């Protein structure tokens, strides 16, 4: 007598699980839309977007996965992260200049398929960046204009697939650049306005795949650039010399 109900349960259970998963994804996409963000689906090699001005397709969450979420310059990034934590197929997450805190970053731990993460110009600190150790598939990481320091940068040591790293306008110093020595696939690195000098450039000499390096607004000198170019002749280095202090004519002998 129990065989038929049991068989029915075995058939229905996976379907019910898929329905629940689809509903969670639908709710997450709706939250992104309400925050004026953009969600991108992928199915069978095709990709299409849903945003504020693109109405959602009924039932799409049952057969397609969200692979990209983008929201910039406004909105509660922490809330989006909480919704997105179940989107385990997500490969790109852009939340620059939104309200992202260390608490919100904790939700990233399940998004191990991410290849791009942008939390530039957010409230992210060293404490929240510990989660980066889990995201070993990352190829592009943007931490510019955050409170990251040398301590937080240690969390990128194991991200061997990284090809691009943004650290513009941060408190990263020469000591922090030592954490980048293992990132041999880096092709671009943005360090403008970081607390970097000629001494720190020594840690970059082994990054022979670098194609673009940005050092504007640092304390790097012409001699330091000249020395680095010998080690990285194929790298395009963007740099301007520090401004020369103006001399008061009255101080002249």
Tell the CATH superfamily of the 167-243 domain: Ribonuclease Inhibitor (3.80.10.10)
Q: Where in the chain is the domain with CATH 3.80.10.10?
A: 167-243
Q: Is the pLDDT of residue 164 over 90?
A: yes
Q: What is the pLDDT of residue 251?
A: 55
From residue 18, give the alpha-carbon distance in Å to each of 39, 45, 80, 110: 20, 21, 21, 18
pLDDT tens for 4-53 read: 465 444 444 444 445 677 777 888 888 888 888 888 888 777 776 776 54
Q: Residue 101's CB: how many other CB atoms inside 10 A?
A: 17
List Cβ neighbours of 42 (8 Å cut-off, separation of 6 or more): 64, 65, 66, 67, 89
Whole-number Å distance between alpha carbons of 126 and 71: 22
Whole-number Å distance between alpha carbons of 131 and 195: 24
pLDDT tens for 117-135 read: 999 999 999 999 999 999 9
Q: Residue 85's CB: how many other CB atoms inside 10 A?
A: 18
Closest to 29 measured CA to CA, from 54, 50, 44, 46:
50
- The two counts, helices (H) then strands (E), for the chain are 7, 10
């Amino acid at each position: 007598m129990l065989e038929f109900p049991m068989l029915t349960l075995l058939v229905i259970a996976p379907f019910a699980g898929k329905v629940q998963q689809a509903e969670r994804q639908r709710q997450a996409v709706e939250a992104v839309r309400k925050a004026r963000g953009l969600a991108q689906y992928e199915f069978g090699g095709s990709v299409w977007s849903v945003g504020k001005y693109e109405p959602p397709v009924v039932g799409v969450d049952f057969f397609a996965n969200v692979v990209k979420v983008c929201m910039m310059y406004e909105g509660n990034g922490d809330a989006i992260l909480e919704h997105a934590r179940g989107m385990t197929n997500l490969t790109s997450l852009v939340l620059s200049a939104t309200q992202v805190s260390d608490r919100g970053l904790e939700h990233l731990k399940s998004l191990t398929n991410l290849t791009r993460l942008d939390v530039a110009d957010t409230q992210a600190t060293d404490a929240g960046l510990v989660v980066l150790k889990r995201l070993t598939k990352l190829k592009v990481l943007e931490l510019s204009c955050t409170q990251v320091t040398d301590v937080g940068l240690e969390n990128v040591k194991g991200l061997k697939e990284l090809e691009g790293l943004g650290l513009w306008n941060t408190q990263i110093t020469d000591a922090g650049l030592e954490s980048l020595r293992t990132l041999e696939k880096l092709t671009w690195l943005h360090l403008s306005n970081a607390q970097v000098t000629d001494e720190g450039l020594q840690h970059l000499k082994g990054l022979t795949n670098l194609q673009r390096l940005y050092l504007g607004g640092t304390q790097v000198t012409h001699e330091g650039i000249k020395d680095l170019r010998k080690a990285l002749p194929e790298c395009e280095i963007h740099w301007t010399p520090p401004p020369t202090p103006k001399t008061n004519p009255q101080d002249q002998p």
